């Protein structure tokens, strides 16, 4: 059953702690993406990767870091430098990084920083 | 700078009637547009897309219209069903390879559609 998994669905962390959100895909897609959704706003791109061992900053990369050591995995670390980390985080993948490729989304992780 | 705007935060429609969701964009480089549907606490799912070389694309009950001169697109759902109740996001991108925005989607704020039985 192919798809994108994100775990956990809900995550709570204390202020000042780094936290890593998991994203795995078994669709054999080259490109992967991280978005953030806040209430009343659209999805905003944090980071994207078009190929293993390469990634690019999106519109709101400050306070976040990523790695892409394996094709299937694109973890996102929310660091203590992110000023407003509480949000719904969505991971997506597409076959290539080409703009007309459909992006498939995971179920999301809701991060709450206390 | 909001390059893709959905000015209606919500829309309420009776079952069986037409739902029209609107989206405006400002970046003239955008040449490919998509609509995604999202249920609460789930990831968005792709609905329909349109290239700038077309002005209409249809898929079952869903039709997207593109007016390039007005930088406006709309999604029509006919007939609307209660299961269509969700948040609808408009997204735009441009397909020029090699640029820093290659493959990047820019999303609108979303419109909450409620279809009443």
* Each residue's pLDDT tens digit, A19-64: 999 999 999 999 999 999 998 788 999 999 999 999 999 999 999 9
Q: How do strand B86-93 and strand A64-66 relate by DSSP bridges?
A: unpaired
Tell me: cis bond preceding A101? Omega within 30 of 0 counts.
no
**Burial class of residue B112, CB neighbours in 10 A (0-12, 13-18, 19+):** middle
Contact B103 A104 (CB under 8 A): no
Q: Record the tokens describing residue A5, joined without a space.
A: 């998994």
**Predicted local distance difference test score (pLDDT) of residue B104:** 81
| Residues on chain B touching A94 (C-beta within 8 angstroms) | 103
The C-alpha of B67 sits at a distance from chain A's nearest C-alpha, in angstroms, of 19
Percent above pLDDT 70 for chain A = 98
| Residues on chain B touching A104 (C-beta within 8 angstroms) | 46
- pLDDT band for B98, please (50, 70, 90 cuts): low
The CA-atom distances, in angstroms, between A19 and each of A64, A88, B37, B103, B105 are 10, 14, 28, 27, 26
Residues paired with A95 in a beta bridge: none
Residues 39-58, chain B: which have Cβ within 8 Å of A? Answer: 41-46, 49, 51
């Amino acid at each position: 059953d192919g798809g994108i998994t994100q775990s956990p669905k809900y995550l709570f962390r204390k202020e000042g702690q780094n936290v890593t959100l998991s994203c795995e895909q078994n669709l054999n897609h080259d490109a992967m993406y991280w978005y953030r959704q806040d209430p009343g706003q659209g999805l905003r791109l944090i980071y994207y990767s078009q190929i293993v061992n390469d990634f690019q900053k999106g519109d709101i990369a400050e306070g976040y870091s990523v790695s892409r050591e394996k094709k299937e995995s694109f973890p996102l670390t929310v660091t203590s430098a992110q000023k407003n980390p509480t949000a719904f985080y969505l991971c997506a993948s597409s076959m290539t990084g080409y703009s007309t490729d459909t992006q498939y989304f995971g179920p999301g992780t809701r991060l709450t920083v206390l | 700078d909001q390059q893709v705007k959905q000015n209606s935060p919500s829309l309420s429609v009776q079952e069986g009637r037409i739902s029209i969701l609107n989206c405006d964009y400002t970046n003239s480089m955008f040449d490919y547009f998509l609509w995604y549907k999202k249920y609460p606490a789930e990831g968005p799912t792709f609905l329909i897309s349109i290239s700038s070389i077309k002005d209409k694309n249809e898929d079952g009950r869903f039709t997207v219209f593109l007016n390039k001169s007005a930088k406006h697109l709309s999604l029509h759902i006919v007939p609307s069903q209660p299961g269509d109740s969700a948040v609808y996001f408009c997204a735009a991108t441009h397909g020029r390879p090699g640029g820093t925005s290659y493959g990047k989607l820019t999303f609108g704020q979303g419109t909450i559609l409620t279809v009443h039985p």
